Amino acid sequence: MSKLNGKVAIVSGSGRGIGREIALKLAGEGAAVVVNDLDAEPANAVVREIVAAGGRAVACTGSVTEADFGQRFVQTALQSFGALDIIVNNAGYTWDNVIQKMTDEQWSSIMDVHVTAPFRILRAAADHFKETAKAEAEAGQEIFRKVVNISSVSGVMGNAGQANYSAAKAAINGLTRALAKEWGRYKVNVNSVAFGLIKTRLTEAVAGDGNNSTIDIAGKEIKVGVNAQLMKNVEAMIPVGRGGTPAEAAGAVYLLCIPESNYISGQVLVVGGGRP
């Protein structure tokens, strides 16, 4: 029997990359999934893929930074599937610069997507978690629910050129630890996964050499990509000898969603191939 049968998950930023793999992994283990992306087509494509494989999924499109998104995201799960058991705060991007050149917009945009948006989603779920846990306790049941916040080694160790991203990912680790203490009585495990180098469209693009790879975020063209030589240097320092895949990243999230992790909470799991 699949370990997540009967569970309902919401996964932000799950139309592409790591988020897509997380949604597919959870669905493959039996969870119904609410898929989110900025754009309708990637989200709907993941929904179709899950349904075609015999799973259950719906889309909730839009930016996680919209003020009402958290409430809408949670309500989509409750209205579509009647429950909410797993929250994965995955949506995000990088907008790098050294601090003397970093604008207020760069700072606030990264803080909004990586800290404020997860805060709003979790706040929107609080009453449901509390009320459900109370009813289950009165019935003599102990049922655990899961929150997995996606962090980064940049939030653990810091990274030059990423003052905004490093600060935001450190903040999500702080939020994780605070909610682990607040929500323990509701049987909610709250953990972070801090990824090292995971090969996605944001890292696979080659920066420099006249390359102008960008992503569109709410009408802003954000440059992405990693210098090819820098990528080789980073991979050389990883004990397993390479960057991780999105599927491997999803596997780490899955570990914190299954019953075997019911006594793990308030932790930051570094997923870096042996590199801290």
DSSP 8-state assignment for residue 150 = E
- State the DSSP H helix or E strand holding residue 67, giving kind and residue range, or none if neither: none
**Residues 273 and 243: beta-carbon distance below 8 Å:** yes
- Coil, strand or helix: which one is 97? strand
The secondary structure of residue 243, as a DSSP letter, is P
Is residue 165 among the annotated active site residues? yes
Task: Write the DSSP symbol of residue 207.
Answer: P
Given a contact cutoff of 8 angstroms between Cβ atoms, the answer to whether 121 and 84 are in contact is no
Instruction: Pull the structure tokens for residue 38.
Output: 């900025």
In this structure, what are the phi and psi dihedrals at residue 240, rounded to the nearest 5 degrees? -80, -5
Question: Tokens in use for 130?
Answer: 């509390």
Q: Which two tokens stand for residue 47?
A: 């929904």
Q: For the chain, where are the alpha helices, taking DSSP H only?
A: 17-28, 40-52, 69-81, 104-111, 117-138, 154-157, 163-183, 201-204, 228-236, 246-255
Closest CA to 206 of 231, 225, 230: 225
Active-site annotation holder among 165, 186, 254, 263: 165
Identify which of 225, 214, 94 has the alpha carbon closest to the alpha carbon of residue 162. 94
Q: How far apart are CA 260 and CA 237, in angstroms?
A: 31
Q: Which residue from 231, 233, 232, 211 is spatially nearest to 223, judged by alpha carbons? A: 211
Which residues participate in catalysis according to the annotation? 165
